[in-house]
Amino acid sequence: MTVQIGDRIPSATLTRATDDGPKPVSTDDIFAGKTVALFAVPGAFTPTCSVRHLPGFKDHRADLAAKGVDTVACVSVNDAFVMGAWADSQGIGKDDIVMLGDGNGDFTRQLGLTLDAKGFGMGERSQRYSMIVTDGVVTQLNIEQPGEFKVSSAEHLLAQL
């Protein structure tokens, strides 16, 4: 079943690249007591994700904060090393956007937001989406149709706040 507005984010462990290597991060810690703008991409370094999706959230980080967002986080079915390298290549500072690896896709499966990208040689990935999570509860949810980039953008999410 796909996550819906009003649902609680499932407890899961994601990974984050640090100077000391990958560090496990609990979704409970990420979302508890905060307003989080979470967006997901099918893959780090892929064209739309690198040219439009991540840069949009980087460019609008301050605008999101001005509307009450405490944390902006990006998740992908990639490992923490890839997410860290992607952040570095995009000039994303450690305090700008929290880059989260869902290497095995467990969190993505719990949300019901998987994407079968085997036809592209990418295996099981995440659908492209954005959401606002307030104290662990989904308050906005924007899931893209396959091949589109409209409703998951930073601009669209800003308009919802």
pLDDT tens column, 51-93:
889 999 999 999 999 999 999 999 999 999 999 999 999 999 8
CATH of the domain at 105: 3.40.30.10
pLDDT digit string (tens) for 32-47?
A: 999 999 999 998 998 8
CA distance 85 to 89: 6
Could you tell me if residue 8 is inside a domain?
no
User: What does the angle CA 34 – CA 37 – CA 42 come to, to the nearest 5 degrees?
Assistant: 135
Nearest to 111 by CA among 17, 15, 10: 10
Dihedral class, residue 156 (left if φ above 0, else alpha if ψ from -120 to 50, else beta)? alpha
Tokens of 59: 């460019």
Beta strand 71-76 with 98-101 is parallel
Nearest to 99 by CA among 51, 39, 31, 59: 39
Model confidence band, residue 123 (pLDDT cutoffs 50, 70, 90): low
Could you tell me if residue 3 is inside a domain?
no
What is the domain count for the chain? 1
Spatial neighbors of 5 by CB under 8 A, at least 6 apart, are 138, 139, 140, 141
pTM of the model: 0.94
Could you tell me if residue 1 is inside a domain?
no
Range of the domain at 44: 13-160
Considering 44, 49, 54, 115, which one is annotated as catalytic? 49
pLDDT digit string (tens) for 3-16?
A: 999 999 999 999 99
Could you tell me if residue 4 is inside a domain?
no
Looking at every residue in the chain, the average pLDDT score rounds to: 93
Nearest to 134 by CA among 39, 32, 57: 32
- Percentage of residues of the chain with pLDDT beyond 90: 82
49 is catalytic: yes
Could you tell me if residue 68 is inside a domain?
yes
What's the pLDDT at 39? 97
Could you tell me if residue 75 is inside a domain?
yes
Could you tell me if residue 46 is inside a domain?
yes
φ and ψ at 98, to 5 degrees?
-80, 115
Could you tell me if residue 130 is inside a domain?
yes
